[in-house]
Amino acid sequence: MRDKIIFDLIEQESNRQDNDIQLIASENYVSEQVMEAQGSILTNKYAEGYPGKRYYGGCEVIDEIEVIAQERFKKLFKTDYHVNVQPHSGSQANQGVFNCILNPGDKVLGMSLDHGGHLTHGHALSLTGKLYEISSYVTDENGELNYDEIRKIAIDVKPKLIICGASAFSLEIDFEKFSLIAKEVGAYLLADIAHIAGLVATGNHMSPFAHVDFVTTTTHKTLRGPRGGVIACKEEHAKLLDRSVFPGIQGGPLEHVIGAKAVAFYEALSDDFKVYQDQVVANCKAFCNQFIELGYTIISGRTENHLFLIDVLQSVGVTGKDAENILGKHNITVNKNSIPNDTLSPVISSGIRLGTAAMTTKGYNESDFILLANKIDQILKENK
């Protein structure tokens, strides 16, 4: 018997995704073949363990798929790092790294959430914030990363782990500078490239590989794959890292998702993917510059990747929450976002975050984004 209730709701959501203008910087639209793999019979299989070392029989095909996913990831990022494709999400990828090298009470230095970092980089409400002694670095008065300041904090704190990478930061991150700081203070270095992974893969953003001990990513943002995570690490950490993910923090891997990750990496290795990422970045610049033309305050003043934040409170006198609601009523989906030194709570916030990955997949070019900026400006001003 078909579950009409859920399939009707999926149809509704499908219509929303088809008809709305989707600007959430962490979302994208996957291909039919990614969905086909994720919706496949691979979901039926238990495969605790790793290729060649499973705790269940019948894993021969699963092993091949998981190894292909690992190999394609290495090829995509031009790295010989060890790769674990089992993390169910970006948060679990980060947790896998923490569990590998940290003990409760160890010191971690990460980017503050309201300056663009992620909850798992040490926010008090995340398990990270509860288990470890967290210190944060912030962006400077221009919304930039001041590496001299970060170095001073690192020397002062002496963290065991430094995290670089962000969820809401529009400028390029210099992983080499972070690696010099980490070396100087004897810290491990983790680059969380969840947002920029697609750009890194195509050379549109500096790569962290060779500079850091660990790289974590999600596979569903600019990388345009299924919802999930991956960890890569220097070979010396491989054994402990694998043990940290399974049995440390996870049980059976989601092999249907791993199959879909492998398909997404295959797509990302194509020439078309480079064309796509170039367009994502070009679109983001055009979109951001149009808002600047219209007089809006952009956090960090510009974009060098696939996203940027607008201080809507200062620009048009509406909160992030209200801007999200107003635009939502006009079928434009965005998310409210805290901005550096926000005076409002995260559930209200003064900013919105805009990203171009999803609508670029839908075929938008620079002119479309310029028109869209004008439309958003008009909607916000008419409805505040």
Q: Catalytic residues, which ones?
A: 46, 48, 192, 218, 221, 227
**Cβ–Cβ < 8 Å for 326, 314:** no
String of DSSP letters for 272-340: HHHHHHHHHHHHHHHHHHHHHHTTPPBTTSS-SSSEEEEEHHHHHS--HHHHHHHHHHTTEE-EEE--T
- Residue 118 sits in the site that holds ligand DSN (CB under 6 A): yes
DSSP state for residue 350 in the 8-state scheme: S
**Shortest reach from residue 96's CB to ligand DSN, in Å:** 15
Residue 181 or residue 288: which is nearer to ligand DSN going by CB?
Answer: 288
C-beta of 311: minimal distance to ligand DSN in Å? Answer: 18
Residue with the shortest CB distance to ligand DSN: 26
Q: How far is the CB of 167 from ligand DSN (least distance, A)?
A: 4
Minimum distance from CB of 188 to ligand DSN (Å)?
Answer: 21
Supply the minimum distance, in Å, between the C-beta of residue 175 and ligand DSN.
19
Exactly one of 94, 112, 167, 360 binds ligand DSN (CB under 6 A); which one? 167
Per CB under 6 A, the list member of 22, 26, 297, 315 interacting with ligand DSN is 26
State how far the Cα of 155 lies from the Cα of 158, in Å rounded to an integer: 5
Binding mask 122-161 for ligand DSN (x = CB under 6 A): ----------------------------------------
Distance separating alpha carbons of residues 63 and 75, to the nearest angstrom: 18
Alpha-carbon distance values, 42 to 16, 46, 66, 357 (Å)? 28, 9, 11, 28
Q: Is the CB of 253 or the CB of 355 nearer to ligand DSN? A: 355
* 90 lines the binding site for ligand DSN (CB under 6 A): yes
How far is 16 from 269, CA to CA, in rounded Å? Answer: 30
Q: Among residues 45 and 306, whose Cβ is nearest to ligand DSN?
A: 306
- Size of interface with ligand DSN, in residues (CB under 6 A): 5
By C-beta, is 87 or 90 nearer to ligand DSN?
90
Angle at 120 between CA 241 and CA 124, to 5 degrees: 130
* Long-range contacts formed by 248-252: CB under 8 A, 24+ apart: 248/96, 248/99, 248/100, 249/92, 249/95, 249/96, 249/99, 250/86, 250/87, 250/88, 250/92, 250/96, 251/48, 252/46, 252/47, 252/48
Distance of CA 45 to the CA centre of its chain: 28
Site string for ligand DSN, 49-88 (x = CB under 6 A): ----------------------------------------
Q: Which is nearer to ligand DSN, 159 or 228 (CB)?
A: 228
Residue 283: closest CA among 265, 308, 301, 300: 308
The nearer residue to ligand DSN, 90 or 253, going by C-beta atoms, is 90
Say whether residue 216 binds ligand DSN (CB under 6 A). Answer: no
CB of 90 to ligand DSN, least distance (A): 5
Which residues form the interface with ligand DSN (CB under 6 A)? 26, 90, 118, 167, 194
